[in-house]
Chains A and B, each alone.
Chain A
């Protein structure tokens, strides 16, 4: 390996793109550099010792991208929906002594932070809680009981109603403080790889119990309040689960909390919204909270299971790789030829995932102690420390993803799926084909293969840069610094909100390993919860699985004004200290200097749904 080159790239003149693959790490910090160096070396090791020639070739020819390749050699898996309730109920071990079941909401939420931190270093992707409200509600109730008995012991003459009211008020304020501390922790624990905050997501919204409702309301309040100086919290990624009969219709018990969630999204970009009633999610729903779909914030979804219960809980993705559809289109001579090439690389992609899976299976439980000895991963209670993890890994998913459907269609048909019905139809055909191939692979290997709408922040620029070298600048295809995410309508094309949702919705059903649709809005939503609600209802109507609304959230560091700020703050004139929160791959990012070129350019190219002239 060219060690000298590595030295120059990382240590001498840090290039924004090399050090800034990931928007959440400060690539210029010492730990950021160290991480970069070790990741290059470990990638080299896995390529030399673990990957087959065919896989390596597909990667080197820019057809396939292996995500988190720097972790390959460790045998780690991507992510997990952590069974928080169970861990809190029975207590757990982080390595130094046992932690007992908490007695109130403050300690329960502090432990929730510790659990995320402990599990983060077992895996290379995000960490999530699948039913945050349901899992924490018992500790809100415990807090209430504690408060009640404390108040009863005081030498004051209160009647029962007064006592209960006081205890409830105390409980609400304790819950608020616990939520506030949890959010602060999520934005400040640099525990991931030593230099990053963990990618934390929480799902909630369906607990209709008194205690669960208090938790949801206070969590939303704390989110709205923001961090110490009112900054927008970047973590956790919050996902509000929309369910008809629970929080969607006028007389549903949690409809007030749904409205509250819409309002908070208008100010803070979170929560996002997931839809239990979308047919592909509803088919798993049996009325129990455990059967509600849970998403990782980035979009990863794990439901179907050939080896056990069909639930998100205690499961996650094992690894994923992404196909560069655009290059396949560029080298093909016809649509038929495109499918021939696509099939070839789907074969290789499947092989490569199985190859990595086989290696992951040879790892032993003791290498990932928290994940496998504390009951985090489904089925792990049957493992001994020295056991290989093969049997329990089957609970996870192997996912093949794709990028640049829009540019691919541009090459194949001359227009994107937002520009012609013909392209729209071919787009659906291609992705249906990918989904079918995953189904067949699942049968053939008896593993949970699934199709992913790849979230691709570092990748969207890497594929295109290499393709530019080979094919030059092709208008509408390679002439930007990024390829469009998965099946999305390109950010540079102007379509109405309705059109975008309509065009993207059918792909949610096809991409069972994860999907998300974004709606871009050009004005601040801080005063317009009704608009958020209309968009969420539109998503529901079209059977979207997981959706998110992007709107500019700027904040003047001088006077605190929030909203859309152009060059300078309109109130105080401040033009430097402006915090600009934007969303990348589902994650919020605070300042744009942590963005790589592809993402910066994408932000610049975004067409907000803006004024059209009178006659188009």
Chain B
């Protein structure tokens, strides 16, 4: 798509685009390139010597059970976060779409978690689930269920999933609500006249028409679970107990900055980049095509 009418100048467009290009070259492409280079090198922790090792870093990663586990954990975590986040938001959006009174109040209150920093979301939920003083822990205890996410792998995973879903629900909710409200009223009315009840209308009209939104949100939520949950995990579990909540992005940080395994961390970065690029391609392939109803 292009404009019919354009301005003509040999130098002005370059001046206009220069700041953006300069910043993305220095702080995006250069580091990304370095990550790729580094992933083929072995460097000692003090940066004294470098050695070209080909695919050895990748080989080591793929042979390392802790990395493969981190992969599986990340997959499980993102499925749980995306799945429950999308489902809950959809339910809320459907009911919010139905009502007129107080709609604004509900909407405003449901949006708030979007504004909360991930790391603060982590702190809030740790406070509720703290083994020693947590309110929810206390009431779970009263019900006969012992909670200690510092000892129990499954509970640690549950904690970061809950906090991540809590934070992401507002985003999904807004998209579903916008999607529902863009469905032509005539369609719903016609179905109504044909005698379709609320349930039928939801199942046969609204849900199919929401499928592009749902697919889009699926990709966005997976990317969110992969990257934006770093703060939640760092505040809530710090990857523990053991490695049980150390998802890929947390492992890049742990191996790179804590353990100073530069080549290994770079190789992990490269794999992560490939995953994101793949997700982006999928998104544009399908969403761009399917988004027109």
Instruction: Decide whether A and B assemble into one complex.
Output: no
**A contact set with B: CB distance below 8 Å:** none
Q: Which residues of B contact A (CB under 8 A)?
A: none
